[in-house]
Structure 1
């Protein structure tokens, strides 16, 4: 079974106000326990999970260098919409593009980081709509997991963070993942 792990980043700050990023990581190895162990080694002892936003510059470099050593493909959807667009609309637009691409790539299952019962329900409703309209196949398994309990979700979190940093003029993090990214852009 081919599984993708998905996380998002909504824009904050003036430079990112209209930006929403959804990233999927598809491990290309059967050694998932080893991948999880590598990621757990990076997590600060006091933290519930490894989180890009909370990491300093040297930690971010170590995170991306570790991710680059893990055999994986990353699919990024970056959406730029008008300022009045709500994050949930951004998310639905990105989900449609991302899940269609993952389905086309042969991904059997996707794991989203849980955002709470209401948000997870909205995601499941969107997935049902996409199955009905044929955007994705009916047998793609879609689940949600809490970030602290699935270290593989920390990878797309970091990929989203590297995309945000690129928008802020710090492209060196994303450059370390060169050749492993399939990029979809929505909007200007």
Structure 2
């Protein structure tokens, strides 16, 4: 879930916390061993890789868990999360038609960024 952050919270820190939460859920609950994310700037992708390494080294996810980055234009499946988040955001704003179609298929996790 994406939501406005308080004045003392940094967007990138919240993203890294959300990323680690996602990796843990995917790996521990669903047995996923590989996560492909949309490529951003190299420095940002490197932060994602460091978060993944922390998750692996601390035992939060399996040792063979891999995080890779690809360009959105080259990997059409990366468009799906954007559409899901858009439908969720629309529902939060009172326009739930799209969300109602997929809600039962989506797991929503809320984090408390620190």
Same fold, judged at TM 0.5 (above): yes
TM-score of the superposition, structure 1-length normalised? 0.55
Bigger share in helix = 2
How much has 1:96 moved relative to structure 2?
Answer: 1.6
Q: Is the 8 A contact 2:45 2:69 kept in 1?
A: yes
TM-score of the superposition, structure 2-length normalised? 0.89
Q: Is the 8 A contact 1:108 1:140 kept in 2?
A: yes
2:55 paired residue among 121, 130, 140: 130
Larger Rg: 1
How many residue pairs get aligned? The number is: 111
Bigger share in strand = 1
Q: Is the 8 A contact 1:17 1:83 kept in 2?
A: no
Q: Which runs of 4+ in 1 moved over 4 A?
A: none
What's the Cα RMSD here?
1.5
2:9 paired residue among 76, 85, 88: 85
Q: 1:155 to 1:121 in 2, by over 3 A?
A: same
Return the alpha-carbon distance in structure 1 between the equivalents of residues 7 and 63 of structure 2.
Answer: 34
How much has 1:17 moved relative to structure 2?
Answer: 2.4
